[in-house]
């Protein structure tokens, strides 16, 4: 399949590879229009359905992961159009529905919907050039793809309020200290680092990887007692899988685990 706004490839060797999606609207700093969001949903769903893919990396360019929703499009909205057609925000639930781990590899600007897209991924690895922010307030609007909800969960109320109310940008080091980013690396190492993390995930057991993602998302989205009970049931359920048998046998016999595929 060819895409207008994405470059989609697979990386790595063997029975499990990484799906790599590069946002590609360089003239607009990867601003997220409906075409891009639709294509991103299609590419993510295809990788999620492909048994040969174990993890997905989303990245942008050196200058921008994504500078937000396309303001040229937003400027043409009125309430009725935005509400009835769910413009700009219509495809975001697709990203949330992806079951395989998705890593955002962020260099340059991750603003507005770009920051929200990164936050919807399971891990954010940032180049030291990355700049995160929710500048919508400066446009007379507020974040519309989860920014007011995910940012406080990621960085706490104090910093979220600071960013959402002032619209200022936060650099990679601050974002890592605040908990938005899991690792910061030199810009020229960004993709290699993200692909290395993805390869590690690709080589792990499928059921335990999916269960781990689902459980952490429970913690992030729901209450503590529900989350702990959900985790307990998933933990127990994994004792019925070949991955568990192989992983523990390998440990006890001091050999590397080779997880079954299929
Ligand atoms: N939408 C559309 N076009 C955008 C864009 C956006 N979000 N961000 C940048 N561009 C375009 C610029 O218009 C410019 O196009 P032209 O060359 O045709 O003029 C091109 O990308 C390069 O941008 P700049 O010349 O502005 O580059 P810069 O280096 O001087 O500044 C920037 C970079 C600070 C990121 C600046 O472009 C900027 O502030 N962009 C807007 C960021 C923003 O407000 N994002 C939030 C959007 S609203 C949203 O996302 C809602 C939501 O929650 C879903």
- Structure confidence by residue, pLDDT tens digits, 159-195: 999 999 999 999 999 999 999 999 999 999 999 999 9
Query: How many A from CA of 41 to the centre of ligand 1?
Result: 22
Look at residue 87 and tell me whether its pLDDT is greater than 80: no
Q: pLDDT (tens digit, 9 = 90+) per residue, 221-262?
A: 888 888 888 888 888 888 888 999 999 899 999 999 999 886
- Centre of ligand 1 to C-alpha 216, Å, is 33
**pLDDT value for 258:** 94
Does 154 score more than 90 pLDDT?
Answer: yes
The pLDDT value recorded for residue 262 is 67
Give the model's pLDDT for residue 105.
99
pLDDT over 80 at 89, yes or no = no
Mean pLDDT is lowest, of 5-19, 39-53, 82-96, for: 82-96
Identify the structural domains of the chain with CATH numbers, from first to last. 6-202 (3.90.226.10), 206-252 (1.10.12.10)
Burial 152-163 (b: 16+ CB within 10 A, else e): bebbeeebbeeb
- Asked whether the predicted pLDDT for residue 76 surpasses 70, the reply is yes
For the Cβ of 119 lying below 6 angstroms from any atom of ligand 1, the answer is no
Give distance in angstroms: CA of 58 to centre of ligand 1.
19
The whole-angstrom separation of Cα 33 and Cα 5 is: 9
Q: Is the pLDDT of residue 102 over 70?
A: yes
Contacts of 140 (CB under 8 A, 6+ apart): none
Instruction: State whether the beta carbon of 106 lies less than 6 angstroms from ligand 1.
Output: no
Complex ipTM value: 0.98
Q: Is the pLDDT of residue 133 over 90?
A: yes
Q: What is the pLDDT of residue 19?
A: 98
Q: Which residues contact 50 (CB under 8 A, 6 or more apart)?
A: 19
Would the pLDDT of 16 be above 80? Answer: yes
The residue whose CB lies within 8 Å of the most ligand 1 atoms, and thus the one to mutate among 23, 28, 132, is 28
pLDDT surpassing 80 at residue 90: no
- Given a contact cutoff of 8 angstroms between Cβ atoms, the answer to whether 67 and 112 are in contact is yes
Give the Cβ contact number of residue 130 at 10 Å: 33
Q: How far does Cα 116 stand from its chain's mean position?
A: 9
State if residue 137 touches ligand 1 by the CB under 6 angstroms criterion. Answer: no
């Amino acid at each position: 399949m060819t895409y207008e706004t994405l470059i989609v490839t697979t990386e790595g060797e063997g029975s499990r590879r990484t799906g790599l999606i590069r946002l590609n609207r360089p003239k607009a700093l990867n601003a997220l229009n409906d075409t891009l969001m639709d294509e991103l949903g299609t590419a993510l769903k295809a990788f999620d359905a492909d048994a040969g893919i174990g993890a997905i990396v989303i990245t942008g360019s050196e200058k921008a992961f994504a500078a937000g929703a396309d303001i040229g499009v937003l400027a043409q909205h009125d309430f009725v159009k935005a509400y009835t057609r769910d413009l700009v925000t219509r495809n975001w639930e697709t990203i949330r529905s992806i079951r395989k781990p998705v890593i955002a590899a962020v260099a340059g600007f991750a603003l507005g919907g770009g920051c929200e897209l990164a936050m919807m991924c399971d891990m954010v690895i940032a180049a030291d050039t990355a700049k995160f922010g929710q500048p919508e307030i400066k446009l007379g609007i507020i974040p519309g793809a989860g920014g007011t909800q995910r940012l406080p969960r990621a960085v706490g109320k104090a910093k979220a309020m600071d960013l959402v109310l002032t619209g200022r940008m936060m650099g990679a080091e601050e974002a890592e200290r605040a908990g938005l980013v899991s690792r910061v690396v030199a810009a020229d190492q960004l993709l290699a680092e993200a692909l290395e993390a993805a390869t590690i995930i690709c080589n792990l057991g499928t059921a335990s990887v999916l269960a781990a993602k689902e459980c952490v998302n429970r913690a992030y989205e729901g209450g503590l007692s529900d989350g702990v009970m959900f985790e307990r049931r998933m933990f127990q359920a994994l004792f019925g899988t070949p991955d568990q048998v192989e992983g523990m046998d390998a440990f006890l016999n001091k050999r590397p685990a080779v997880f079954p595929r299929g």
